[in-house]
Structure 1
Amino acid sequence: MSGTSLDGLDVALCRVAGNGPETRLEVERFKTLPYEDSFRNAVREVFARRQIDFQQLCLLNPVIGLQHGEMILECLTEWSIDPSGIDLIASHGQTVFHAPRKQHGLAGFPNATLQIGDGDHIAVKTGIITVSDFRQKHIAAGGEGAPLAVYGDYFLFSQKDKNRILLNMGGIANFTFLPGSLDASLVFTTDTGPGNTLIDALTRHHFGLPYDENGSIAANGVVDEALLNALKDAPFFEQPFPKTTGPEVFSTDYVKNAMHLAGRNAIDPKDLIATLTQFSAETISEAIGNTMRLGEVFEIYASGGGAHNPVLMGAIGKLLGRNIRLIDELGVAGDAKEAVLFAVLANEAVAGEAVHFGGKKGVPGVSMGKISFPG
């Protein structure tokens, strides 16, 4: 898995048995291999931009595939595992643009998303059958291409008589509601808005750091209420659930526009990070609160980079009046969760069948992924 933070490639070695709700999965090894700055900067030239150098995009498609293949082989060597012992690689690829219809607003054009890092190149490089490009089938079947976590969340983490919310805070935050009844038709998933994307981007800009480690910058800032209200005044937050979004909307330009609306020509960088952290916390909390039935009892488990930010986690817990636990308590390390969920999707592609989620919007009952053979 390579996310919008572009920090590196998450590689999870999983042993899987069964399929669908009978899926059993054990994470045997996990490692995040950091990207070199030159690689990260090359991707940022085409990442979430409407105007790009198309030759750069074309060249990066095989380059990312080859880079990911090399990193996978590096992990297998470190773990003393022969590639011939691996059945499948599940590759998410690198998202470079996400354009749901509600976001682009162009008549006659469907939902769309683009991930690069060609699966054929990974398969040939590693000699391992590769399943990739999962999001296109989701869109073809009527979804928006995200969030896809719902499928693995339902198969791996549902438990009888326990309502659970699985909150993932990557660049964009999303959550899945898992009913204690185990009724797939009641499963719900949606993006909520920014997770870490704005916090990371402005931390890089003002402090030269990749992210706000332990929320230390936010903890020393003061929330600017006028700016916070301007950040929350966006069409995305008025759209009905479920919905998806991306850094194409929530960018540094979005923050600049909000500052203009709030009458802030300048702001102390610490206060800006504190405000952006509160912005993520409030939009996450409001999305969860607005989609749960009044009085419904549920547990919340968090994963993703945001789960390591105690300021963000504390604000969400305070707003919801609940203890936010870590997904690690359910047997999968939070940092590995996204990679693990795509392993589940790859397993479904070759060994499963479509699971019906009641025909609800945003969760088509389909098998996803394209298969690439090494030769």
Structure 2
Amino acid sequence: MNVHIADLARIAAAPSRIIAGLMSGTSLDGLDIALCEFTGSGLQTEVKVLHFITMPYSQEFKEELKAISFKTEVELQKVTLLNAVIGSYSAKLILDALKEWGYPSVAVDLVASHGQTIFHAPISLHHMESFPNATLQIGDGDHIAVHTGIITLSDFRQKHVAAGGEGAPLAVYGDYLLLSSPVENRILLNIGGISNFTYLPGGRNPALVFSTDVGPGNTLMDQFVQLNYPGKYYDQDAAIAKSGTPNTELVEALLAHPFFDRPFPRTTGPELFNLNYLQNAKEAIGQLSISKEDTLASLCEFTAISIVTAIKQAIGEQPFKVYLSGGGMHNPLLVQKISEGLGFALNDTADLGIDPDAKEAVLFALLANECVAGGQTDFGHRRGIPSVTMGKISLPA
């Protein structure tokens, strides 16, 4: 038997596993690395986050990613090269983090790498009936495995698509296994570049769980800041948006897209919600000279309304709590508007034992744990939530 296959069998059968979960989102700002210890699988899963860090990308690397991300036409050679580069760079960042923590790489059983999404293409976006849902993440897992010497699982979203899903959101699987409650109805709201939530009704019945993208999270606000405020990457503490006033006509135009009428679950990305989307909304109302401050205030209002409306549509009148994660939870104006729209204060996943900044990386580590040691949970056969085991396995050299 191949020695690495034997190692994988041993890891799968062991009572616990050390897994490094990696997440890089649509903000393209850095690599989240969560070093986790897992015991059990399925609803018996227990996780302890041993270490967490965000390794920031250099400005040069961010620009390389932006050049090929979320565009229908890019240079194929650059995509090919960056597929290898991102994998090798991710491996370096993992080893750097382990060194900083004083944690030996030989003690890590698995790496779980989300990769870098460069294009998300559900049928609802590409509108080509002869083509299926599709999504593409690059950052080759073999490069990670070879350069770290650690068995690596990657490319999780492809199985989801192959089984009839849209490749997103995948948080539903980990949210259910780690954070569902026997008694409390919960919304796990993640506000990254795109906002999404998982609905976890009390009772832990997987057939009643669902997850959906909502619309923009930080992406439109961040893109606008980066274009109009050189040197800034986001609106820190919502200082700019707070100095402006939402333009009601602009907010209504931003909300007028058919995406918001699609049934749940639905997925989207910066391929739709970008600065062209904003420009088209301004042109639709004939107001191209809205101030930067008012534009950013309007984008914040638009984002909050889209989130609140989706949650209310999904939940109805039953009581529930909201637990936040993702970079958007650090935008105080956005959180305030969501709280006011829902009529109650919001919690974050720290109240459930998971660092909200680490949550996405932890959840991909959990998908790897399920791939090798679990995979028995039946989510039924509903649209968007196939009962599948995800992750391609790459062995070290």
Q: TM-score, normalised by structure 1?
A: 0.99
Of 110-119 and 352-361, deviating more is: 352-361
1:230 matched to 2:253: yes
Matched position secondary structure for 1:44: helix
Instruction: Work out which of the residue numbers 139, 150, 159 in structure 1 matches 2:181.
Output: 159
Q: What is the CA deviation profile of residues 12-61 of structure 1, one whole-angstrom value per residue up to 9, with x for unaligned ones?
A: 11000111111100101000010001111001111000011000000000
Matched position secondary structure for 1:109: coil
Matched position secondary structure for 2:357: helix
Of 189-198 and 233-242, deviating more is: 233-242
Cα drift, residue 85 of structure 1: 0.3
- State how far apart, in whole Å, the 1-side matches of 2:295 and 2:227 are: 11
Instruction: Work out which of the residue numbers 368, 379, 382 in structure 2 matches 1:346.
Output: 368
Q: Which residue of 1 aligns with 2:282?
A: 259
Give the residue type in structure 2 aligned to 1:225.
T
1:145 matched to 2:173: no
* 8 Å contact kept, 1:218–1:270: yes
- State how far apart, in whole Å, the 2-side matches of 1:17 and 1:179 are: 24
Of 349-358 and 137-146, deviating more is: 349-358
- State how far apart, in whole Å, the 1-side matches of 2:127 and 2:71 are: 17
- State how far apart, in whole Å, the 1-side matches of 2:72 and 2:31 are: 25
Q: Which residue of 2 aligns with 1:220?
A: 243
* 8 Å contact kept, 1:278–1:315: yes
- State how far apart, in whole Å, the 2-side matches of 1:106 and 1:132 are: 28
Q: What is the CA deviation profile of residues 70-102 of structure 1, one whole-angstrom value per residue up to 9, with x for unaligned ones?
A: 000000111111111000000000000000011
Cα drift, residue 354 of structure 1: 3.8
- State how far apart, in whole Å, the 2-side matches of 1:119 and 1:13 are: 17
- State how far apart, in whole Å, the 2-side matches of 1:257 and 1:263 are: 10
Cα drift, residue 159 of structure 1: 1.4
Give the residue type in structure 1 aligned to 2:313.
N
1:250 matched to 2:276: no
Q: Where do residues 66-215 of structure 1 align in structure 2 (5 Å cutoff)?
A: 66-208=88-230, 209-215=232-238
Cα drift, residue 355 of structure 1: 1.7
* 8 Å contact kept, 1:17–1:23: yes
Instruction: Work out which of the residue numbers 243, 265, 274 in structure 1 matches 2:297.
Output: 274
Instruction: Work out which of the residue numbers 36, 49, 52 in structure 2 matches 1:14.
Output: 36
Write out the 4+ residue segments of structure 1 that deviate beyond 6 Å after TM superposition.
none
Q: What is the CA deviation profile of residues 230-287 of structure 1, one whole-angstrom value per residue up to 9, with x for unaligned ones?
A: 1011011111111000000001100000000111121111111110001100000000
- State how far apart, in whole Å, the 2-side matches of 1:275 and 1:123 are: 45
- State how far apart, in whole Å, the 2-side matches of 1:155 and 1:144 are: 21
Give the residue type in structure 2 aligned to 1:228.
V
- State how far apart, in whole Å, the 1-side matches of 2:242 and 2:347 are: 21
Matched position secondary structure for 2:24: coil
Identical amino acids, percent of aligned pairs = 52
Q: What is the CA deviation profile of residues 106-134 of structure 1, one whole-angstrom value per residue up to 9, with x for unaligned ones?
A: 01100000000000000000000000000
Matched position secondary structure for 1:131: strand
Q: What is the CA deviation profile of residues 312-349 of structure 1, one whole-angstrom value per residue up to 9, with x for unaligned ones?
A: 00000101112111111111111100000000000011
Matched position secondary structure for 2:190: strand
- State how far apart, in whole Å, the 2-side matches of 1:80 and 1:126 are: 15
* 8 Å contact kept, 1:354–1:366: no
Where structure 2 has 5 or more consecutive residues not aligned to the other structure, the ranges are 1-22
Instruction: Work out which of the residue numbers 341, 344, 347 in structure 2 matches 1:322.
Output: 344
Q: What is the CA deviation profile of residues 164-213 of structure 1, one whole-angstrom value per residue up to 9, with x for unaligned ones?
A: 00000000000001111111100011000000000000011111211111
- State how far apart, in whole Å, the 2-side matches of 1:181 and 1:331 are: 19
1:323–1:167 distance in 2 versus 1, CA, 3 Å: same
Matched position secondary structure for 2:68: coil
Cα drift, residue 353 of structure 1: 1.6
Q: Which residue of 2 aligns with 1:25?
A: 47
- State how far apart, in whole Å, the 2-side matches of 1:232 and 1:56 are: 35
Matched position secondary structure for 2:260: helix
Instruction: Work out which of the residue numbers 63, 68, 77 in structure 2 matches 1:41.
Output: 63
- State how far apart, in whole Å, the 1-side matches of 2:175 and 2:183 are: 16
Cα drift, residue 293 of structure 1: 3.0
1:292–1:335 distance in 2 versus 1, CA, 3 Å: same
Give the residue type in structure 2 aligned to 1:368.
M
Cα drift, residue 358 of structure 1: 2.6
Matched position secondary structure for 2:298: helix
1:364 matched to 2:379: no
